[in-house]
Structure 1
Amino acid sequence: MGSLLSVNVGVFRPLSATSTGRTGIDKRPVDGPVALAAPEAGLSGVAGDSIGEPEVHGGPDKAVYAYAREDLDFWDPSFGNGVFGENLTTSGVDVNGAEIGERWGIGSAVLEVCAPRTPCRTFAAWLGREKWVKTFTDAGRTGAYLRVITPGSVSTGDEVRVLSRPGHGMSVADVFSAMMKQPEMLPRLLELDALAGDLRGFVAARLKGR
C-alpha cells in the first residue's frame, strides 16, 4: 500500500512556449486537505489549481495527474515534489504499472486511472532540458492522469489504496508504448472502457489512417 507524499497546486507563470503565454505547470505542495472534484472541460479537478492551456489540459479525463517520487528520483533526486506538474506525488505506488480503469481510494475521494501523460513543448520548456520530449518518451515513466469518480478531499500522508483493478492487463506504460512505439498494439486500446476520450479518438484516427 502506498502513500501520498504531497498534494501540489499550480499558480500561473509566464511561458512563451504555450498558446496562452502562461502555464500552470509550476505546482507546489500545499498544507491541509485539498478538495478533488470532477471538473468541466479546461478546469482542474484539484481545488486551487491553475490550468494555463485549457484547450489541452484539465477536464474530466485529466482532472488529476499523479507521479511517483521514485520516478522523480530516477530523473534527479533534487527535484521537488510537483516539478513535473503533478498534483499528487506518491510513494510506494506503481503508477506506471497501474491498469487503465484501476480505481484508487485516497482520503475520501475515489479516482480512476485513465491515461498516461504525453510530453509536450510546455513540459520541455518548463524543465529547460535539451531533447526532453524524446528523453521522457524513451524512458516511459509517464505518470498517470485520473478522473474523479467520487469527489472528496485528500491530504499529505493519506494512504493510496487500490480499490479495484479491471484485470485486462493493459497498464499506463503499455498504453503509452502503444501510442508512441508499438502501433500494432493500438487496436487493444479501443477495448479499454476507461481509456480517456481524447486518446480513444487519437487511436481511432490512427487506425483509420493506416
Structure 2
Amino acid sequence: MTVYKVRAIHTARITELTFGRKSFPSALLKQPIQNEMFLSFTGLAEDEQTPEHHGGTEKALCLYPHDHYAFWDGWMDVHDGAALFGENITTEGIHERNTHIGDRFEFGEAMLEVTEPRQPCFKIAAKYNKPELIVRMRESGYTGFYFRVLKDGTVKPGDGLKLISRDPAGVTVQEVNELLFSPNPALKQYDRVLEAEALSKTLKPKLIQKRNQ
C-alpha cells in the first residue's frame, strides 16, 4: 500500500495583502496546524478561501509537492516549513506526473479524490514580486493540484495520504496541465482529458466548450 508523507497541513484566514501598489484579499499566508482539525466537503475548518480562484467542493483541498521546492530555491525566497504557494498540504513523493484525475486517497478520517491542477493566479506572482512566476509554473508543470472530499472527518499532523485506488482512465494531472497551457491543443488532447470522469465539475464544462468552438 502506497502512503505519501504529508510534511505539514496549513490553514489561514483571509487578510488584505499589499504587494507593490496592489492590495487584495488572500489566504496565501498559511501556517501549519498543530492539532487535529475537521475537514469538511468545502475544506479545513480554520481555512478560508477567496472563491474566485479557490474553494468550493471541487477545490476543497490544495496540495503542493515539497519535491518541487528545490526547483524554486535560489530563484525565489523559499522557507522550508512554510506553505510556499499557499497550499493546504505539503507532501513528498506525490506529484503531477504520477497522480491521476480521480485517484482516491485516505487522509486521516477523510477520503479525497483528485479533481484538477491548480491554475496559478496573479496573487502568487504578486506575493513574491515575480511577474514571470505564473509562466514558470505553467512551463514546468509544477502547479500542484486540488481534491474534492468524498468523506469528511478529522485530520491531524502526521497523517499520511494513503492511496486507495487509481482512476481507470489514467489521465495524469500533468496531461491536464499540458492541455490547459498549450497554445493550440489538439482535439485528441481534449478527448483524452475528458475521459477522466472525476474531472472537476467546474473545469469540465469549460473544456467541453473550448473543444467544441
Normalised to the residue count of structure 1, the TM-score between the two structures is 0.89
| Local SS of the residue matching 1:197 | coil
**Structure 2: which amino acid aligns with 1:73?**
A
Q: Structure 1 residue 150: deviation in Å?
A: 0.7
2:4–2:160 contact (8 Å) kept in structure 1: yes
Identify the residue that residue 35 of structure 1 maps to in structure 2: 38
Q: Structure 1 residue 188: deviation in Å?
A: 2.0
Whole-Å Cα distance in 1 between the matches of residues 136 and 40 of structure 2? 33
Cα deviations by residue, 1:111-142 (Å, 9 ceiling, x for unpaired): 00010011111121122213111111111011
1:37–1:151 contact (8 Å) kept in structure 2: yes
Whole-Å Cα distance in 1 between the matches of residues 97 and 83 of structure 2? 17
Whole-Å Cα distance in 1 between the matches of residues 67 and 28 of structure 2? 20
Larger mean Cα displacement after TM superposition, 107-116 or 152-161: 152-161
Identify the residue that residue 98 of structure 1 maps to in structure 2: 99
Whole-Å Cα distance in 2 between the matches of residues 96 and 32 of structure 1? 31
Identify the residue that residue 108 of structure 2 maps to in structure 1: 107
Aligned length: 202
Whole-Å Cα distance in 1 between the matches of residues 96 and 201 of structure 2? 20
**Structure 1: which amino acid aligns with 2:14?**
F
Query: Once the two structures are aligned, what percentage of the paired residues are identical?
Result: 30
1:6–1:155 contact (8 Å) kept in structure 2: no
| Local SS of the residue matching 1:205 | helix
| Local SS of the residue matching 1:15 | strand
Whole-Å Cα distance in 1 between the matches of residues 158 and 97 of structure 2? 21
1:73–1:79 contact (8 Å) kept in structure 2: no
Identify the residue that residue 201 of structure 2 maps to in structure 1: 197
Whole-Å Cα distance in 2 between the matches of residues 20 and 125 of structure 1? 10
Q: Structure 1 residue 198: deviation in Å?
A: 1.7
Q: Structure 1 residue 96: deviation in Å?
A: 4.3
Alpha-carbon RMSD: 2.0
| Local SS of the residue matching 1:129 | coil
Whole-Å Cα distance in 2 between the matches of residues 170 and 131 of structure 1? 28
**Structure 2: which amino acid aligns with 1:47?**
A
Identify the residue that residue 210 of structure 2 maps to in structure 1: 206
Identify the residue that residue 48 of structure 1 maps to in structure 2: 46
**Structure 1: which amino acid aligns with 2:160?**
E
Whole-Å Cα distance in 1 between the matches of residues 47 and 97 of structure 2? 23
Cα deviations by residue, 1:142-189 (Å, 9 ceiling, x for unpaired): 111000011012222212111000132211111111111261201222
Q: Structure 1 residue 95: deviation in Å?
A: 4.7
Q: Structure 1 residue 66: deviation in Å?
A: 0.6
Q: Structure 1 residue 56: deviation in Å?
A: 2.9
Whole-Å Cα distance in 2 between the matches of residues 84 and 127 of structure 1? 10
Cα deviations by residue, 1:79-112 (Å, 9 ceiling, x for unpaired): 3331201001112223542110000111111100
Identify the residue that residue 42 of structure 1 maps to in structure 2: none
Normalised to the residue count of structure 2, the TM-score between the two structures is 0.87
Cα deviations by residue, 1:19-66 (Å, 9 ceiling, x for unpaired): 982111111111011211102xxxxx1110111x32332000000001
2:96–2:141 contact (8 Å) kept in structure 1: no
Correspondence list, 1:122-161, <5 A: 122-161=123-162
Identify the residue that residue 183 of structure 1 maps to in structure 2: 185
| Local SS of the residue matching 2:202 | helix
Whole-Å Cα distance in 1 between the matches of residues 97 and 89 of structure 2? 14
Identify the residue that residue 79 of structure 2 maps to in structure 1: 79
